[in-house]
Amino acid sequence: DGGITQSPKYLFRKEGQNVTLSCEQNLNHDAMYWYRQDPGQGLRLIYYSQIVNDFQKGDIAEGYSVSREKKESFPLTVTSAQKNPTAFYLCASRVSGASTDTQYFGPGTRLTVL
């Protein structure tokens, strides 16, 4: 987990509220990613960013938004439009020099909608 921090570790949200999950990395990596993990489904890509001020939708972007104003930060907002937001959210980063570089993961944030 070293070098990538996610906060908070646990987050509770009422239905209809937007919440923002933090992801910070001090690895000087160019690329950053957000994944959602549900039991039995593996990890699914929400959004990714290869450089500052640029990001692309992943496979399940609906109901989520991101920003990339700084190289070290890639916050994820879970909006009220996300119908089933309860999940474990994982942030990752990668040196973007070669596509085969390894992605490294943060410790995750567990979001529960009450």
Partner 1 sequence: AQSVAQPEDQVNVAEGNPLTVKCTYSVSGNPYLFWYVQYPNRGLQFLLKYITGDNLVKGSYGFEAEFNKSQTSFHLKKPSALVSDSALYFCAGLTGGGNKLTFGTGTQLKVEL
Instruction: Enumerate binding residues for partner 1 (CB under 8 A).
Output: 1, 4, 6, 31, 33, 40-45, 48, 50, 56, 58, 88, 90, 92, 99-100, 102-108, 110
Minimum distance of partner 1 from residue 45's CB (angstroms): 6
Distance CA 72, CA 4 (A): 9
- The verdict on whether omega for the bond into residue 8 sits within 30 degrees of 0, i.e. cis, is yes
Asked if 40 and 87 count as a contact pair (C-beta separation under 8 A), the reply is no
Minimum distance of partner 1 from residue 23's CB (angstroms): 11
Minimum distance of partner 1 from residue 95's CB (angstroms): 13
Closest to partner 1 by CB, 20 vs 107, is 107
Contacts for 40 with CB less than 8 Å, ≥ 6 apart: none
